[in-house]
Amino acid sequence: MTTNAQTPNSVQGRVVIVTGAARGLGRDYARMFAIDGAKVGLADVNSEAVTTAAREIAADVPGSDVVGLTVDVTDADSIAAMVAGVVERWGTVDVLINNAGIWGDLEPAPLSATKPSYFDLVLAVNLRGPLLCTQAVLEPMRKQGWGRIINISSMGAYMPSGVYGVSKLGLNQMTYALATELGTNGITVNAVAPGPIDNEATRSQLPEAAFQKMISGTAMKRMGNSQDLYGMIRYLATTEADWVTGQTFLVNGGYNSRM
């Protein structure tokens, strides 16, 4: 059963939550879902920034229905309150995009020298967060017999990338495990693993030489962008992907040829 009369590739009218949506790729995904007619809850720990992001998307996309939501994805009570707010506003949750995460060298160190406190922080946000958010949306999804959970992983899961890579490889395994458990509820669980993306976060954390090396490492000789990723995310959020679950999709311009 689905909650809306849908053409196979449509997200029109779907209720979508995007975590980590105050800026960067999360904000871009939220905006593109809004353009495609979805009702979008932008969720982020930065209350002021996510409220601003939602307000700007609403102004930029005429007729859109979006709202900014404050959430700490490491806290089950915070997540429960966020989901309850979405259900109160729109009646259900159709799609969850687990995008919130810690990326980059907040504490530069090889994995063998990573502080336990930093290891715990990254796993709390990147791995426990998606699990807690998934658990929180299961009631409305099970009730309607349909749901989409899309975890944002990384090609870093398959490369030496410290605790970040550990968390993302764990997310891929969790994606498969949850898909196996939830399939009979009409809920699919998949992951999208982006390759090198040209955005503010990448440029602020990579020196130019590393940036150019990443470009040369792709088959297409260019960095990706949010639109490149959204095509796969949008597909997985539609009824067209009804028989696709438990998969991790590398969307990386062919960078895996160099991995």
Q: How many CB atoms lie within 10 A of CB 121?
A: 16
- The full DSSP string for 118-178 is HHHHHHIIIIIHHHHHHHHHHHHHHHHT-EEEEEE--GGGGS--HHHHHHHHHHHHHHHHH
Q: How many CB atoms lie within 10 A of CB 63?
A: 7
Residue of 194, 231, 229 whose CA lies nearest to 214: 194
Residue 128 main-chain phi, psi, to 5 deg? -65, -35
**Token couple for 185:** 């509820």
Q: Is 164 annotated as catalytic?
A: yes
Quote the distance between the C-alpha of residue 35 and its chain's center.
18
Catalytic residue selected from 164, 230, 235, 255: 164
Task: Give catalytic residue positions.
Answer: 164
